[in-house]
Amino acid sequence: MSASAEIGHQRALAAAAPRAFFPSLLILLGLAMAVVPYWSDDVQLREGFLLAAVYITLASNLNVMIGYAGYINFGNIVFFGLGGYVCVDLVTRLHWPLIAAALAGGLAVSLLALVFGFGILRLRGAFFALATIGVNEAVRQFVANFEPWGGATGIYLTFDAYDPLGGPMAALWLVYFLVVAVMVLSLLLSYAIKRSKFGLGLLAIGQNEDAAAVLGVRTPRLKALAYSVSAFLPAVAGGLFFFKSGIIEPNGAFDLTLSIEAIVMIMLGGSGTVAGPLIGAFLYEELRGLLLTSPTISQLQLVIAGLVLLVMVLFAPGGLVGFVNQHWPRMRKFLQ
Amino acid sequence: MIGVLASVIDGVLVGSVYGLAAMGLTLIWGVMRVINLTHGAMIVLGMFIIYFLAKATGLSPYASMPIVVVVAFGVGVATYWIAVDRVIGRPILMSLLATFACNMILIGVGTALWTTSPYNVPVSLPGISWQGYTFTGTHMMAAACAGLIAGLLYLFLNHVRYGKAIRAVASNREAAELSGIPTRQVLAVTFGIGVALACAAGALIATLFPFTVLSGSSYQLKSFVVTVLGGLGNPAGALLGGIALGLIEGLATPFMPVSWTPIIEFALFVVVLLAFPRGIFALSRA
Amino acid sequence: MSALLEVSALSKRFGGVQAVMDLSFTVEKGEILALIGPNGAGKSTVFDMINGVYPPDSGRIVFEQADITGLPPYEVAHRGIARAHQIVQPLSDLTVLDNCLVGACYGHDDLSLTAGRAVVREIAELVGLGDRLAMPAGQLTTAGKKRLELARALCGRPRLLLLDEVLAGLNPTEVDRMVEVILRIRAGGVSILMVEHVMRAIMQLSDRIVVLNLGRHLAEGSPQEIANHPAVIEAYLGDSKLMAAVGAERP
C-alpha cells in the first residue's frame, strides 16, 4: 500500500476516533521512556533512549515536510545543528539558563527557516531536495569559518556550565527528561497538524500542488510555515543534545549522514503517519546499534541504510505502519 | 589579458566535459521524468573503471574509453531494472528516494572497497604552448572526446531509428507504445545511455584531476547547475551550459578559496532555477 | 449594471502558436454563458488565464470590478472563482469528504473544519456524492470523479463557476442529471461560465453563447442566434454530428 493511501485511511479514522486516545498513548510512551532508566538507574539504557528520542524528534518533524507536504528535505539536520550552536553559544558566552537558550535556539532557527522557506520552496521536487543539501553544506562551511562560534574547532563546554543545573550528573538526567519531552511534543505536534485544517492543506499540496492552489490553498505560505514549524523542535533538541555532549563542531553538528538516516527512518516506519517515524527511528537505531558492533559492517553503514531505503521504496512504500494497517486494520487505532 | 584568455579557453575545454556529464542527467529526465540521483556515483564509477583499466592494461585511457562506455551502459540498464522500473509513474518522491538509495549503496560499497584516498590516472600528452601559456594536452583531448561523444549522441538521437524511438517515448510515451515501440525497453536503454555518458565524463575527468570515492557529489552538483542552465531535457543546452559553467569556474576560481566553489555553484543553481525555470539556453516552448 | 466578469483583449502565445488572440467577452451576474468552438480553439487556455494558472501576454480580466489579471490561482479562488477541470485532478488518496473539505475550508469563505464539513455534506447531496463521502477519491468512477470536481469547486462557495467540459465522457442519463444539477447551482445564485462540446446540453443550459475559432472571437449571441449564424456554421462545417445537434435544436 502506498504511503499516501495510508494517509487517506488515517484521516477517515481520525474523524471517527475519540480525539484523546492516540495522544494519550504517546504521552504514556514518553513517561515510560523517562521513568524506566531513572528508576533502574541504568545509564546505558538512558543513553540509548536519548539517542532514540533525538532520532524520533528529527524523523517526526521531518515527516511534516516529507509525509504531509511531499517535499523531501535532505538537509534537515541543519536545523538541529544550528539550534545546537545558538543554544551552546548563549550558554557559554552569555550564561543563559539552558531551557531559555534551547528555546531561543528553536525560535531563531524556525524564524530563519520561515524567511528562507519562502524562497527555497519555490523549487519543486528534486530541485528543492538538492537545494536543501546545499543549504546544509553552505551553513556548515559558514560556521566552520565563523570565529565567534569557534570556527572549525567549535565550542567546548567546561564543567561549570553544568553547575546551575546541579552538577554534571544531575544535568545529564535533566537534559534526558527534556529531550524526551521534546520527543513527545514532536509526536503530539505532528498528530495535531495531521488533524488540523493546516494539515489538510499540506496533504492537499502533497497530493497535487497545482490542484490544491486552484482550490484556494495558499501554497507558498503553507509550505514555508511547514518548513518553519518542522525546524523548531529539532533545533531545540539540538540545543539540548550538544549542551549535554559538551562540544559542538561543524562536522558533527551538520552531519549529512544522520540527515539522510532520518529519511530512511521515516520510510521504514511509514511516512505520513505519526507512529511511522516513531517506530522507524526506534527500529533503525536498534539496527544500527547491532551493526556497529562489527567493525567491518560498520563501514557499510551507508550501504545498509541505502538497502533498507530501497527495499521500502520499492516494495513497501507505506512503511511498516502501512503494512501492518493494511493487513490488520484494527491496528490503525494504535498506529495513527 | 592573455592570462584571462587562457583561463577562458581552459574553462571552455573543461566545461565541455561537465556538459557531457550533464547530458546524461538531462537525457534521463527528458525521457522518463526521473532525476537520477545516482549520477554522482556513476561519474565516480567511470573514474575507477578507467583507473583500473589503465593500470591493468597499460593502454592509454583514451583507448579504453569504449570499454568504459559499454560497461557503464550495462550498469545503467541493470540499475534501471532493479531500482527504477518499479517507480516510473509513481510520485516523483519515490523515484528520488529510489535513485538516492542506490547512490548510498554504490558510494558505501565504493568507500569500503577503495577508501576515501585520492586516486590518479597518469596521462602524458604533449600540450600546446602559446604566448607563454601551455594548454595541457589532457584538457584538449578531454574536450575533443567530449565533443566526439556528444556528436555521436546527436547523430544517434536524430538519425538512427532507435534514437528517434527514444525521442518519441520522451515526447509521448502512450503514443509511442501504441505505435509499436517497446517503451519499457527504451526506458532501460535510455537510462543505460545516460549512465554511460556520466561514466564517460567521469573517465575523462579522471585524466584531468585527482579524485576520490567522494568526488561524485561535487561533480553531481556541477551537473545539476549545468542542467538548470541549459534547461531540463535539453542535451544541446546541457553542452552549452557545461561550457558556460567551465567559463565561470575558469574566471572565478583564481580569486576564491577552493572550498567555497561548491557553495557558489549551489547559489548559482538556486538563483538560476528561481529566475529561469526553463533554463537560460532553453528554447522557448510551452 | 456592470458585468460580473469582464475579459478584454486577452492574448496568449505558446512558442509558435497563438492560442488566444484579442479575446473579449463578459459574463453577467446570474447567467450561464457557454464558450464553444472547435478543438484547439483556445477555450481551456482562456480558463487557465482567468483562473490564474498563467498570466495572459496582454489584456485584462476584471471580476466584480476588481482587476484579477495575473493573480495566482489561490488568490483567484479567494475572490470567488472556482473551477471544475476537464482532466479530472482528484486528490486521489484523500476521501471524497476531504477533497471537498479542502475546497470548503480554503475557498472563498475561510471556514473551520467543522463548518466546512457541514458545507461539504450539503453540496455532496446536491451533486449526488452523498453516499460516497468516505471513499478514497482515486476509487471513484470517471463520472464520480467528474462530480467530485464539481462538488469540490462548489464547496468553495464561488460566485463564478468555471466548468471545463464537465459533461465529456458521460452517457445521456448522466448528462441529463448533470444539467439538472447545473441549473440548481445557478438557481442558488452562482453564475456559470462553461466550456462544452455536448451541444444538446449547451442549448438547454446557456443564456448566451460565445463562439471561438483559432483563439479568436467568432460570434456571440443567444443559442438560437448562434445556431443560425453563418460564420459559426462554416467553422463547424467539418463536424456533421455537431451540425445535426445544432440543427435539431432550432426552434
C82 in a structural domain: no
B283 in a structural domain: no
B285 in a structural domain: no
B280 in a structural domain: no
The CATH number assigned to the domain holding C52 equals 3.40.50.300
pLDDT exceeds cutoff 80 at A6: no
Answer yes or no: do B91 and A70 touch at CB < 8 A: yes
B284 in a structural domain: no
- AA letter at B246: G
Chain A positions touching C85 (Cβ under 8 A) are 211, 214
A181 in a structural domain: yes
Model pLDDT, residue B285: 36
Residue in B with minimal Cα distance to C45: B286
State whether residue C112 sits within 8 Å of chain A by CB. yes
Chain B positions touching A127 (Cβ under 8 A) are 224, 228, 273
Query: In sequence order, what are the residues at sequence separation of 6 or more whose Cβ sits closer than 8 angstroms to the Cβ of residue B120?
Result: B51, B206, B210, B211
Q: What's the domain count of chain B?
A: 1
Chains that touch C (3 or more CB pairs under 8 A): A, B
Residue of higher predicted confidence among A50 and B258: A50
Specify the 3-state DSSP secondary structure of C209. Answer: strand
Region C85-109 average pLDDT: 91
Query: Which phi and psi angles does C24 have, rounded to 5°?
Result: -135, 135
Model pLDDT, residue A13: 65
pLDDT tens track for C33-80 = 999 888 766 888 999 999 999 899 999 999 999 999 999 999 999 999
Nearest Cβ partner for A207 among C78, C91, C134:
C91
Contacting C residues, span 56-95, partner chain A, CB-CB under 8 Å = 72-74, 77-78, 82-83, 85, 89, 91-95
pLDDT exceeds cutoff 90 at C218: no
CA distance A190 to chain C (A): 17
Model pLDDT, residue C251: 46
State whether residue C15 sits within 8 Å of chain B by CB. yes
Residue C132: give the domain boundaries. 88-158
State whether residue B73 sits within 8 Å of chain A by CB. no
User: Percent of chain A, pLDDT > 70?
Assistant: 95
Model pLDDT, residue B283: 43
State whether residue C158 sits within 8 Å of chain A by CB. no
Answer yes or no: do C93 and A217 touch at CB < 8 A: no
Answer yes or no: do A217 and C106 touch at CB < 8 A: yes
Model pLDDT, residue A12: 66
Model pLDDT, residue A17: 65
State whether residue B260 sits within 8 Å of chain A by CB. yes
User: Percent of chain C, pLDDT > 90?
Assistant: 54
Q: How far does Cα A205 stand from its chain's mean position?
A: 21
Mind giving me the DSSP string for B162-224? HHHHHHHHHH-HHHHHHTT--HHHHHHHHHHHHHHHHHHHHHHHHHHS-B-GGGHHHHHHHHH
Give the A:C interface size as CB pairs under 8 Å.
90
A286 in a structural domain: no
Answer yes or no: do B263 and A72 touch at CB < 8 A: no
Report how far residue B279's alpha carbon sits from residue A209's, in angstroms, rounded to the nearest whole number: 22
Chains that touch A (3 or more CB pairs under 8 A): B, C
Residue in C with minimal Cα distance to A272: C93
Chain B positions touching A314 (Cβ under 8 A) are 83, 86-87, 98
Contacting A residues, span 185-204, partner chain C, CB-CB under 8 Å = 196-197, 200-201, 203-204
Report how far residue A210's alpha carbon sits from residue A219's, in angstroms, rounded to the nearest whole number: 9
Nearest Cβ partner for C103 among A4, A8, A215:
A215
Answer yes or no: do A307 and B101 touch at CB < 8 A: yes
Report how far residue C41's alpha carbon sits from residue C60's, in angstroms, rounded to the nearest whole number: 19
Nearest Cβ partner for A204 among C73, C91, C153:
C91
Nearest Cβ partner for A214 among C77, C95, C105:
C77
Nearest Cβ partner for C105 among A2, A200, A214:
A200
Region A263-275 average pLDDT: 92
pLDDT-wise least confident of A180-184, A263-267, B50-54, B128-132: B128-132
CB A273, CB A195: distance < 8 Å: no
- Disruptive mutation site among C106, C113, C133 for chain A (greatest number of A CBs within 10 Å): C106
Model pLDDT, residue B90: 81
pLDDT exceeds cutoff 80 at C147: yes
B286 in a structural domain: no
Nearest Cβ partner for B109 among A126, A138, A303:
A303
Report how far residue A152's alpha carbon sits from residue B71's, in angstroms, rounded to the nearest whole number: 42
Q: At what angle do helices A168-195 and A219-245 cross, to 10 degrees?
A: 160
Residue C120, C-alpha cell as written in the block: 461539504
- Disruptive mutation site among B213, B270, B272 for chain A (greatest number of A CBs within 10 Å): B270
C168 and C152 co-located in one domain: no
C232 in a structural domain: yes
State whether residue C55 sits within 8 Å of chain A by CB. no
State whether residue C144 sits within 8 Å of chain A by CB. no
Chain B positions touching A67 (Cβ under 8 A) are none
A322 in a structural domain: no
CB atoms within 10 A of CB A163: 12
Q: What is the mean pLDDT of chain C?
A: 88
Model pLDDT, residue C87: 86
Region A181-199 average pLDDT: 95
Residue B240: give the domain boundaries. 2-275
C251 in a structural domain: yes
Residue in A with minimal Cα distance to C111: A197
- Alpha-carbon dihedral of residues C194, C195, C201, C206, nearest 10 degrees? 40
Model pLDDT, residue A328: 86
Chain B positions touching A306 (Cβ under 8 A) are 101-105, 108
- AA letter at C239: D
Report how far residue B286's alpha carbon sits from residue C15's, in angstroms, rounded to the nearest whole number: 6
Chain B positions touching C14 (Cβ under 8 A) are 285-286
Residue A92: give the domain boundaries. 19-255
- Disruptive mutation site among A68, A214, A217 for chain C (greatest number of C CBs within 10 Å): A214
Report how far residue B130's alpha carbon sits from residue A137's, in angstroms, rounded to the nearest whole number: 40
Model pLDDT, residue A244: 94
Query: Which phi and psi angles does B209 have, rounded to 5°?
Result: -135, 155
C55 and C100 co-located in one domain: no
C40 and C68 co-located in one domain: yes
Specify the 3-state DSSP secondary structure of C217. Answer: strand
Nearest Cβ partner for A11 among C72, C94, C108:
C94
Model pLDDT, residue B221: 85
pLDDT tens track for B91-119 = 778 888 999 999 999 999 998 888 888 88
Model pLDDT, residue A281: 93
Model pLDDT, residue B286: 30
Q: What's the domain count of chain A?
A: 1
CA distance B56 to chain A (A): 27
C177 and C240 co-located in one domain: yes
Nearest Cβ partner for A130 among B101, B224, B274:
B224
CA distance A128 to chain C (A): 21
Give the ipTM.
Answer: 0.89
CA distance C244 to chain A (A): 36
C112 and C3 co-located in one domain: no
CB B127, CB B135: distance < 8 Å: yes
Answer yes or no: do A7 and C112 touch at CB < 8 A: no
CB atoms within 10 A of CB B111: 18
Give the B:C interface size as CB pairs under 8 Å.
6
CA distance A30 to chain C (A): 29
**pLDDT, tens digit only, all 286 positions of chain B:** 667 777 788 888 899 999 999 999 999 988 998 889 999 999 999 999 999 888 888 778 888 899 999 999 999 999 999 999 999 878 778 888 999 999 999 999 998 888 888 888 877 777 777 666 777 788 888 999 999 999 999 999 999 999 999 999 988 888 888 888 899 999 999 999 999 999 999 999 998 888 998 888 889 888 988 888 887 777 888 898 899 888 888 877 777 777 777 778 888 877 877 777 665 655 433 3
Q: What's the domain count of chain C?
A: 2
Report how far residue C194's alpha carbon sits from residue C36's, in angstroms, rounded to the nearest whole number: 8
C49 and C167 co-located in one domain: yes
C37 and C50 co-located in one domain: yes
pLDDT tens track for C184-211 = 999 999 999 999 888 888 988 999 999 9
DSSP annotation of B284 reads P
Chain B positions touching C15 (Cβ under 8 A) are 284-286
Model pLDDT, residue A160: 82
